[in-house]
Amino acid sequence: MTEVFAWPAAAPAAAGIAAELERLCATVFAPLVALAEAAAAAIPADRAPLLADLGVVRPAAVAQLNRGDALVAGCGLIADPGLIADAPWHLAWWTAGADREIAPLRVVSDPARDGFRDYTVLEWWSVPRRTGRRHITGPYVDYLCTDAYTLTFTVPVRRADGSMAAVVGSDVYVARAERLLLPALRACGRPATVVNRAGRVVVSTLPEHVTGSLVRSFPAGWVRHDCGDVPFGVLVCG
């Protein structure tokens, strides 16, 4: 007797992809939460911190860049302007190149110089400051760090009074996330697309759904499953 394989129905297939996506995001957020707590503990209660007080950041960032899954392309801490006594604008960020060599990101930190960029207006900074919660920005082309489609994960670092002192974050290339997510999308046996809450495509098995493009609507019969704890939705053809 020949066994007939049936692909899972669209709704369970979408839920399965969403679960895999949430798992991937959790593996990025968990070490950032730990780093945020360590950075907060390193801020003295009786004075402004010095750069030397935040030595915990670099080894934690390097550990993420050396992950076995090679998912994280950049990691570090971005301080609230004026937080650090000897570095008023401080972006401590490390990146891993194609050869996996780790290097600090070189940025202009003097507002009076050409090339300075006010990072406090960028989404990955401003949303955690406004909401007090972790955030995922993207997919977007990160011209500051990666020059590639990127997801930036950020977690607020809190002062003793609860205000935001900094964010810690990790950059994830969409291409690397795609490598880990595509098996789940293909396993459902029908066209499937992951979008952010604005409808921008993260990864898809549908050729016309290119990473970064905007899906304004989808045909009748498609199923959408929104991920509960991360800002993404999964679209699966019914």
Q: Say whether both 124 and 109 belong to one domain.
A: yes
Q: What's the CATH number where 41 sits?
A: 3.30.450.20
Q: pLDDT at position 89, please?
A: 94
Q: pLDDT at position 219, please?
A: 76
Q: pLDDT at position 7, please?
A: 54
| 3-state SS, residue 22 | helix
Tens of pLDDT, residue by residue over 203-225, are 999 999 999 999 988 878 889 99
Q: pLDDT at position 1, please?
A: 44
Ramachandran class of 212: left when φ > 0, alpha when ψ lies in -120 to 50, beta otherwise: left
Q: Which one of 130, 147, 175 terminates a domain? A: 175
Pairwise CA distance, residues 22 & 232, whole Å: 9
Q: pLDDT at position 146, please?
A: 67
Q: pLDDT at position 221, please?
A: 84
Q: What confidence category does residue 190 fall into, taking pLDDT thresholds of 50, 70 and 90?
A: very high
| Complete edge-to-edge strand list for the sheet that includes strand 91-96 | 102-104, 91-96, 72-79, 164-173, 149-158, 135-141
Peptide bond into 128 cis (omega under 30): no
Pairwise CA distance, residues 28 & 171, whole Å: 9
% of the chain beyond a pLDDT of 70: 96
Prediction pTM value:
0.93
Task: Read off the DSSP letter of residue 120.
Answer: G
Q: Say whether both 121 and 137 belong to one domain.
A: yes
Are the C-beta atoms of residues 146 and 137 closer than 8 Å to each other? no
- Contacts of residue 67, Cβ cutoff 8 Å, sequence gap at least 6: none
Q: Is the pLDDT of residue 98 over 80?
A: no
Q: Domain total for the chain?
A: 2
Q: pLDDT at position 69, please?
A: 93
Tens of pLDDT, residue by residue over 32-50, are 999 999 999 999 999 999 9
Q: What is the largest CA-CA distance in the chain?
A: 77
Q: pLDDT at position 176, please?
A: 94
Q: Say whether both 78 and 89 belong to one domain.
A: yes
Q: Say whether both 112 and 129 belong to one domain.
A: yes
Q: pLDDT at position 8, please?
A: 63
pLDDT top residue among 115 and 202? 202
Q: What confidence category does residue 110 fall into, taking pLDDT thresholds of 50, 70 and 90?
A: confident
Q: Say whether both 145 and 206 belong to one domain.
A: no
Residue 168: which of 23, 22, 33, 25 has the closest Cα? 33
- Position 3 in a domain: no
Domain residues for the domain of 220 are 10-19+177-236
Q: Say whether both 211 and 160 belong to one domain.
A: no
